[in-house]
Structure 1
Amino acid sequence: MNMRTDISQALDLVETAPIMSERRVSLIGGLMVAIGPISLALFTPAMPEIVQAFGTTEAAVKMTLSLYFGGFAFAQLVCGPLSDGFGRRPITLAFMAIYLAASVLALMAPNIETLVVARFLQGVGAAVGVSVARAVVRDVFTHERSARIMNMIGILLALGPAIAPTLGGLTMELFGWHAIFVVMVLLGVVVMLVAIFALRETVTRDLSRIRPKALVASYGSLFRSPYFVLCCLVIAGTTGAIYTQATVLAFILMERVGLTPTQFGVGMLMQTANFMAGAIVMRIFMKRFGAARMVPVGLVFVAIGSIAMAILLRTYEPSFLLVMVPVGIYAFGIAMISPAMMTAAMAPFPENAGAASAMMGFFQMGAGMVGGAAAALMGDPVNALATVIPIMGLLAILSWLIWRRLPEPSLMARLKQG
């Protein structure tokens, strides 16, 4: 008992004098996490136009999203552990350089094949934002302070994709779809400047962590933890659903409902406004009840949104509200789930936070990639939305029901096992 008390007091002492403040970590983390979704959302209003510009098919243009997800998902498995070994700042700068080069390539793309490659490389570069931001939070804070920062990052994360479709639609109508990638170049420059001048290094350089044997052991320990895997599946079925929706909503709202690119961009504010509302509600009630107790509340909203999609979109011709009300309810629930589940997933792995963050992001973006690919194969985007998203919601709910029965891993238990 005395030993546990000493450890707790030591942890509290460390957290009273962090390397960076909660606000600073929240702002930097929010910017870094947002670059991936912003790069996705900026592009979606231009998808129907790109079909015409390159004389290609919807399926080919959807591949630019699927491979973006693929690059984003798999690159996290690399940049996360690399940041454990080389440090958070140098890996951030290296991968953001890839993102910048890919944005320039997309800007100059002469055909759809080049654009597909550029979008894949953009996903590779943008992956560092999610991996490093979450790892930095875990490096500096734990428990409720970590959950508070994850919640604030979620609010900031919502602001980016909220503005991005509107900005993308206006940019495309005023300057053409090429200008969208100019905006991405500028965004990449901003993130690099923040990494250079505002982000402090939060991990000690240790190249032993990136040796092949160490990497295998690190990921092996994550996969052997049902607690971690089930946390990731909850996140995959909720946050991952947002990325799946991105592959079909533009075609539903612009081609079936008849919105212009600008109207589509403004209309997407409904999804993001609901997410922000959920994040604000979460922040208020988290102080009283704790982050973990808000997860089942969020899952109830996910269930309601899933059921509404599955029934309404199969019964009636799609309209803006018929599509976006269920999407908004689903997003409201996601905001109550993510902070607690992300914190719970990473808490048992302080020694390889980068790898844990990377694997969690792989599940999240991998779900978007698989869901997007399934939606593309189904052909009809309305049927895809009414089928794939409810399945992802069911996955999240079932995973949480199993996860909540598992004992929480502790540092003392891990030491005894070792």
Structure 2
Amino acid sequence: MTADTQAASATTPPNRMTALRTTLLGALLTAIGPVSMAIYTPAMPELVKAFGTSEAAIKLSLTLYFGGFAVAQLLAGPASDAFGRRSASIAFLLIYLVGSLMAVFAPSVDWILAGRLVQGIGASVGMTVARATVRDQFVGFEATRIMNMIGIMLAVGPAIGPTIGGLSLSAFGWKSVFVLMVIFGVILLASCLLFLKETTVPDRSRLRPSILVSTYFSLLTDLRFLLPSLVLGGAIGALYAQGTMLPFVLIGEVGLTPTQFGLGMLIQTGAFLSGSIALRLVSGRISGPTTVVIGLMFSGIGGTMMALSVHLLPPSFLSIMLPVGVSTFGIAFISPYTVTVGLAPFPKTAGSASALMGFIQMGGGFVGGLLAAFLGDPLTAIGTIIPAMEYIAVGSYIAYRIINRRQ
């Protein structure tokens, strides 16, 4: 091999993946985070009884999961830049499996808490690598369409997750919920080993502390990145945050069984799936910014409906889930274009940018969950925190459009 050939191989990524393969693997990788939450939520009230603990302790398990997921992304992203998307995915998925097995064999609630934290750390690689691989290979409208298709496929997992979790819980007990996570982790690990190709040129310098800090600082001070990330942190963060509240509202306040709760959550994920399909149908006819405006209108209206229903109506399934469905329909319109424009200016640090965007997104859910635990009453929390987060998303996008026009 000549020197010129060696130089070229050091700067040229290996074989690229097709759009279909990128979409399928991206959907699986992105799904690991929300699926691990969706399958788990029906079991939360049962875990309170099984371990003779408090609701606050079990809510903490979700908070730890969110925290581990959010913070670990800040390492998972640079690790995928430094060692490659494939190697980082395999390593973090192994961590996820360790956390899942800790929960399966947990002798006490402390082991559940620790297992969920480790699970969150391992799952953090999914969203980061999925977005980075799209950014590595595709740009513009094609990237947005792939992101949208990932969203459509992603909706299937969380849609059936609560239902599967509720049925498994009723039939086999709480341990079976974590066994399902082990199975999903093994399937995803095998998929990465067999089908995920390297889409970037690894650069070990990206993990140097000085470069890492400099990269994140430059991203946080660049409004082209920060404002789209805050849009996602408000809108999708609200979706994650309400996941910590809905089990206690619908099971504790409305009186649903875990199985009924799992079936009822089909409204949320069905709304997301419907929004993703609707976006795919109209994406060729309207601009990306217009799709975000439509999505934020639905999300803002849904948040307002939630605030009004909680404070003016007695809690019922429809009074809670109808606003959830409206806002979730809108979220499907927001994510693809917002992710694309937020990552587009940063091709050399796509992994780190994707990680920080995911951190802000999940951080929104983490802060929302903490505030919900602080307020105590789940109805007050869902009727106050969720609308506020939707309004933050709307305000951030308005600011982005104003600044973008000036530039």
Bin of the TM-score, shorter chain as denominator length: over 0.9
Out of 338, 342, 357, which is 1:341 matched to? 338
User: Could you tell me how far apart the structure 2 residues matched to 1:262 and 1:66 are?
Assistant: 23
Query: For the Cα contact (< 8 Å) 2:135–2:343, is it kept in 1?
Result: yes
User: Could you tell me how far apart the structure 2 residues matched to 1:214 and 1:408 are?
Assistant: 31
User: Could you tell me how far apart the structure 2 residues matched to 1:290 and 1:226 are?
Assistant: 21
Q: Residue 149 of structure 1: CA displacement?
A: 0.7
3-state SS, counterpart of residue 202 of structure 2 = coil
Q: Residue 409 of structure 1: CA displacement?
A: 11
Q: Where does residue 413 of structure 1 map in the other structure?
A: none
Q: Give the TM-score taking structure 2 as reference length.
A: 0.95
RMSD (Å) for aligned C-alpha atoms: 1.5
Q: Residue 185 of structure 1: CA displacement?
A: 0.5
Query: For the Cα contact (< 8 Å) 1:75–1:127, is it kept in 2?
Result: yes
Q: Write out aligned runs for 1:271-282 (5 A).
A: 271-282=268-279
Runs (4 or more) in structure 1 with deviation over 3 Å come to: none
How many residues are paired up?
395
| In the alignment, structure 1 residue 232 sits paired with structure 2 residue 216 | no
Q: Where does residue 9 of structure 2 map in the other structure?
A: none
Out of 124, 128, 137, which is 2:125 matched to? 128
User: Could you tell me how far apart the structure 2 residues matched to 1:260 and 1:149 are?
Assistant: 37
Q: Where does residue 304 of structure 1 map in the other structure?
A: 301
Q: Where does residue 172 of structure 1 map in the other structure?
A: 169
Q: Where does residue 37 of structure 2 map in the other structure?
A: 40
Q: Where does residue 57 of structure 1 map in the other structure?
A: 54
Residue deviations 1:54-89 (CA, integer Å, cap 9, x gap): 111101000000010000000000010010010001
Amino acid at match of 1:54: F
Q: Where does residue 185 of structure 2 map in the other structure?
A: 188
Q: Residue 246 of structure 1: CA displacement?
A: 0.7
Change (3 A) 1:409 1:112: farther
Q: Residue 157 of structure 1: CA displacement?
A: 1.5
Change (3 A) 1:216 1:409: farther
Q: Percent identity?
A: 50
Amino acid at match of 1:246: G
| In the alignment, structure 1 residue 288 sits paired with structure 2 residue 305 | no
Q: Residue 385 of structure 1: CA displacement?
A: 0.5
3-state SS, counterpart of residue 406 of structure 1 = helix
User: Could you tell me how far apart the structure 2 residues matched to 1:113 and 1:122 are?
Assistant: 14
User: Could you tell me how far apart the structure 1 residues matched to 2:154 and 2:382 are?
Assistant: 23
Query: For the Cα contact (< 8 Å) 1:18–1:140, is it kept in 2?
Result: no
Out of 377, 381, 384, which is 1:384 matched to? 381
Q: Where does residue 415 of structure 1 map in the other structure?
A: none
Amino acid at match of 2:371: A
Q: Where does residue 214 of structure 1 map in the other structure?
A: 211
Query: For the Cα contact (< 8 Å) 1:144–1:290, is it kept in 2?
Result: no
Q: Where does residue 364 of structure 1 map in the other structure?
A: 361
Q: Residue 292 of structure 1: CA displacement?
A: 2.2
Q: Where does residue 8 of structure 1 map in the other structure?
A: none
User: Could you tell me how far apart the structure 1 residues matched to 2:391 and 2:15 are?
Assistant: 39
Q: Where does residue 66 of structure 1 map in the other structure?
A: 63
Amino acid at match of 1:279: S
User: Could you tell me how far apart the structure 2 residues matched to 1:187 and 1:408 are?
Assistant: 44
Residue deviations 1:219-263 (CA, integer Å, cap 9, x gap): 121012012111000001111111101111011111211111111
| In the alignment, structure 1 residue 144 sits paired with structure 2 residue 164 | no
Q: Where does residue 102 of structure 2 map in the other structure?
A: 105
Residue deviations 1:312-343 (CA, integer Å, cap 9, x gap): 11111111011000000000010000001000
Residue deviations 1:250-286 (CA, integer Å, cap 9, x gap): 1111121111111110100001111111111111111
Query: For the Cα contact (< 8 Å) 2:152–2:277, is it kept in 1?
Result: yes
Query: For the Cα contact (< 8 Å) 2:15–2:199, is it kept in 1?
Result: no
User: Could you tell me how far apart the structure 1 residues matched to 2:311 and 2:185 are?
Assistant: 41
User: Could you tell me how far apart the structure 2 residues matched to 1:292 and 1:307 are?
Assistant: 22
Q: Residue 353 of structure 1: CA displacement?
A: 0.2
Residue deviations 1:73-114 (CA, integer Å, cap 9, x gap): 000000100100100011101000000011000011111111
Query: For the Cα contact (< 8 Å) 1:95–1:126, is it kept in 2?
Result: yes
Out of 151, 155, 161, which is 2:152 matched to? 155
3-state SS, counterpart of residue 289 of structure 1 = coil
User: Could you tell me how far apart the structure 2 residues matched to 1:395 and 1:37 are?
Assistant: 22
Q: Where does residue 201 of structure 1 map in the other structure?
A: 198
Amino acid at match of 1:159: V
Amino acid at match of 2:395: L
User: Could you tell me how far apart the structure 1 residues matched to 2:220 and 2:36 are?
Assistant: 30
| In the alignment, structure 1 residue 332 sits paired with structure 2 residue 325 | no
User: Could you tell me how far apart the structure 1 residues matched to 2:271 and 2:365 are?
Assistant: 20
Residue deviations 1:14-59 (CA, integer Å, cap 9, x gap): 9xx9811111111110000001100011110010010011111101
Q: Where does residue 87 of structure 2 map in the other structure?
A: 90
Q: Residue 407 of structure 1: CA displacement?
A: 2.8
